[in-house]
Amino acid sequence: MNADRHPWILLAVLPLAVALGCGRGEIKLPPKPPRSVFDDGPVRLSVEFAPAEPRLADRATLAVRIDAEPGVTVERPEFGAEFGDFRVVDAREELPRVDNNREIVEWIYTLEPIRAGRAAIWPVDVAYVDARSTGGDGNRHWISSKPLSVEVATTVKADPPSLADLQPEAPPVGVPFSPLTWIVCLAAVLAAVAAAAYAIHRHRRRRKQIASRPLTPAEIAYRELRQIVADRLADRDVKQFYVALTGVVRRFIERTTSIRAPEQTTEEFLREISLRRTFPDEENRRLKIFLEAADLVKFAAHRPRQEDVDASLDRAREFIDARRDAMAASESSEAASDRSNTPAKEVA
């Protein structure tokens, strides 16, 4: 049953649960997972380990999350085979997303404890390039989390139970009645009702807020372009620069169309988009000039000038911008058409 549709059921159940729990002793809350949060200018690093009390036979997770302002390029933290007192079993990267105009990247590492007892979790070091248009210096910086530690338990107790330790059955124990006990229980019930009402109200307000969304194809492409510029690839290997640059455009086309652009040669790709009439003639012409100029560098040993490199970057940005604006205009037109085709309700 959905608590959002029936919130008063939660209000009815919580007081009963609190009342039943009164007089049964103190409830021990589970420990919180160790966590480290550190801010460094436009970047926030958050590291969290779970579970809080791992066993030697368990697998644990280490979540590394980067929350950065637009224009900041973050590098993936590299772990070895072991990290502190844990063995690295697996690693995966979550899909990047945007929340409150900040780009969020998260990596999840699966760890195995090496030994029982107090286990150390080393600081996580993350490098980033601050290429913001305002306040950025274009340099590479480092941000590190604080070291963490957890207690790793064994699956077998140090002193196994023995039949000789068994005791005879104890007689029932009466629960003493006290008016103060019922006053405390009543106060707890009222507090639980107020907390539940506040939680439901806050949850409904949160549902109305704008949810986090995944990055659009254009945002992903611009992020990859910023990485190419930050790495100064054109200065180190101009051929690899053009391979990476055309790869950004081809992957952008694949994300916005059904064409498998990265798997085709330039000639095959241009022939297919011409037959399909995927893009307007002007966009086809720009794309043809861009790809053929890149092929001269990649396959014909052409040495471009710096202004040629800058012009290639500008052509890539112009193509991505043109496709983004065309897709937005098409979506707006379709939405307007749907509204105009919706029959109006008759007025009595």
- pLDDT given for residue 282 in this prediction: 83
Residue 17 reports pLDDT greater than 80: no
Output 339 or 72, whichever has higher pLDDT: 72
Q: Rounded distance, CA 267 to CA 142, Å?
A: 43
CATH number for the domain that contains residue 77: 2.60.40
Domain interval for residue 116: 35-152
Q: How many domains does the chain divide into?
A: 2
Q: Is residue 9 part of a domain?
A: no
pLDDT tens readout for residues 75-120: 988 888 888 899 999 999 888 899 988 999 999 999 999 988 999 9
Query: What's the rounded mean pLDDT across residues 3-32?
Result: 58
Query: What's the rounded mean pLDDT across residues 1-17?
Result: 53
Q: Is residue 296 part of a domain?
A: yes
- pLDDT given for residue 146 in this prediction: 92
Q: Is residue 259 part of a domain?
A: yes
Q: Is 167 exposed, middle or buried (0-12, 13-18, 19+ CB in 10 A)?
A: exposed
234 and 138, same domain (yes or no): no
Q: Is residue 159 part of a domain?
A: no
Answer yes or no: are the C-beta atoms of 56 and 152 closer than 8 Å. Answer: yes
For every residue of 254-304, which 3-state class applies, written as one string?
A: HHHCCCCHHHCCHHHHHHHHHHHCCCCHHHHHHHHHHHHHHHHHHHCCCCC
Instruction: Take residue 208 and report the two structure tokens written for it.
Output: 């109305």
Question: In the structure, what pLDDT confidence band is assigned to residue 13 with cuts at 50, 70 and 90?
Answer: low
Q: Is residue 12 part of a domain?
A: no
What mean pLDDT, rounded, does the chain reach? Answer: 82
Of 123, 152, 181, the one marking the end of a domain is 152
pLDDT tens readout for residues 306-342: 898 888 899 889 889 988 888 888 888 777 776 776 6
230 and 304, same domain (yes or no): yes
Question: In the structure, what pLDDT confidence band is assigned to residue 214 with cuts at 50, 70 and 90?
Answer: confident
Residue of 32, 112, 97, 31 lying closest to 65 (CA atoms): 97
The pTM of this model reads 0.43
- The DSSP line for 86-140 is EEEEEEEEPPPEEETTEEEEEEEEEEEESSSEEEEEPPPEEEEEE--TTT----E
Q: Is residue 248 part of a domain?
A: yes
Residue 37 reports pLDDT greater than 90: yes
- pLDDT given for residue 210 in this prediction: 47
Query: What's the rounded mean pLDDT across residues 37-42?
Result: 90
Give the list of residues 6+ apart from residue 3 with CB closer than 8 angstroms, or none: 9, 10, 200
Q: Is residue 187 part of a domain?
A: no
Question: In the structure, what pLDDT confidence band is assigned to residue 185 with cuts at 50, 70 and 90?
Answer: confident
Residue of 265, 269, 223 lying closest to 248 (CA atoms): 223
Q: Which residue has the tokens 């995944």?
A: 214
pLDDT tens readout for residues 48-66: 999 999 998 889 999 999 9
Residue 126 reports pLDDT greater than 50: yes
Q: Is residue 157 part of a domain?
A: no
Of 127, 152, 177, the one marking the end of a domain is 152
Q: Which residue has the tokens 């963490």?
A: 148
147 and 42, same domain (yes or no): yes
- pLDDT given for residue 269 in this prediction: 79
